[in-house]
Structure 1
Amino acid sequence: MNESTQSIIRETVQASVEGRIHFGQVIGQLVTAGVESYLADYRAHRIVYYLPDGQTLDVPLDMPDIVIADNFDAHALQAAIRGSQRGEVRYPEFKRLSSEAGCIGYTVWIAGRHVSYFGRRGETHVEKFPD
């Protein structure tokens, strides 16, 4: 992966974890970098970015100091998602809220325009990108 692509991804991650940009801006910048999808793993504190040619970039993910809930609460997760979509919830708070809802991570399918969220027992919630 070339340095320019890595730089765009790393700068986007930094702006997101600091709460300076919202989800739509994250997606726009990652599209510019050529990212096809990414996997955020709350338990491993990692995000892996995937390019269409198979190249990947693994970036550390700073997580709040809380225990991820044992039970997956899709309604609480959807509330956090809706807050994010309205621009009221930025990524630092989203990580906390989604962890409290039992989310252990998610995959953003940029090309497929949806996000798959996961719980500890294989539960999933699929959220389509808003139009």
Structure 2
Amino acid sequence: MENLVLQAIEAVAHDSYAGKLTFGDVVDSLMEVGVESYFADYRTGNTSYYLADGSVHVVALGKKDHAIPNAFDDPALVAAIRGAQCDEVRYPEFIRLSMAAGCVGYIVWMVGRHVSYFGRAGEVHVEHFPQIE
């Protein structure tokens, strides 16, 4: 994996974690450097980026001290997602809200244009990217 790609992934990860980017900005920037999907694992504080060439880059941004309840609250998760989609919620707040809804992590599938969110007992909420008009 070339150094410029790694630098781009790291910059997007840090800027997103700092609340500087919208979800659309993150997806667009990562697709430009060849990322096909990424997995954010709230329990480890790591995000793994999977590239089209088969390589993987892991960014460790640290665990948040927010508790993740056992129950998966789909309506609360959807509310957090909608807030992010209309840019009322940026990533730091999204992490807090989605963890409070029982989400332990998620996978963004760029090519498939959807995100799979996971609960502690294997629950899955699939959210398709909004249609661009």
TM-score (norm 1): 0.97
Could you tell me how far 1:67 is from its partner in structure 2?
1.1
Q: Distance in 2 between matches of 1:85 and 1:63?
A: 24
Q: Secondary structure at the match of 2:94?
A: helix
The residue type equivalent to 1:65 in the other structure is D
Please identify runs of 4+ aligned residues in structure 1 that moved more than 3 A: none
Cα separation, 1, equivalents of 2:9 and 2:48: 10
Superposed CA deviations along residues 44-95 of structure 1, whole A, max 9, x for unmatched, are 1110000112100010133431211110001000000000000000000000
Partner in structure 2 of residue 82 of structure 1? 82
Partner residue, 1:11:
11
1:68 counterpart = 2:61: no
- Matched pairs, number: 131
- Provide the C-alpha distance between the structure 2 equivalents of 1:10 and 1:31, rounded to a whole number of angstroms: 14
Contact 1:63–1:95 (CA under 8 A) maintained in structure 2: no
Scaled by the length of structure 2, the TM-score of the pair is 0.96
CA contact under 8 A between 1:45 and 1:63: conserved in structure 2? Answer: yes
Matches within 5 A, 1:113-124: 113-124=113-124
RMSD between superposed Cα atoms in Å: 0.8
Q: What is the match of residue 49 of structure 2?
A: 49
Match of 2:39 in 1: 39
2: CA distance, partners of 1:75 / 1:62 = 27
**Matched AA of 1:129:** F
Q: Which runs of 5+ in 1 are unaligned?
A: none
Is the CA contact (8 Å cut-off) linking 2:117 and 2:125 kept in structure 1? yes
The Cα shift of 1:12 comes to: 0.4
Superimposed CA distance per residue, residues 17-62 of structure 1 (whole angstroms, 9 cap, x where no aligned partner): 1101110000010011110000010001110000112100010133
Give the whole-Å Cα distance in 2 for the aligned partners of 1:87 and 1:48.
24
Gaps of 5+ in 2: none
Q: Percent same amino acid at aligned positions?
A: 53
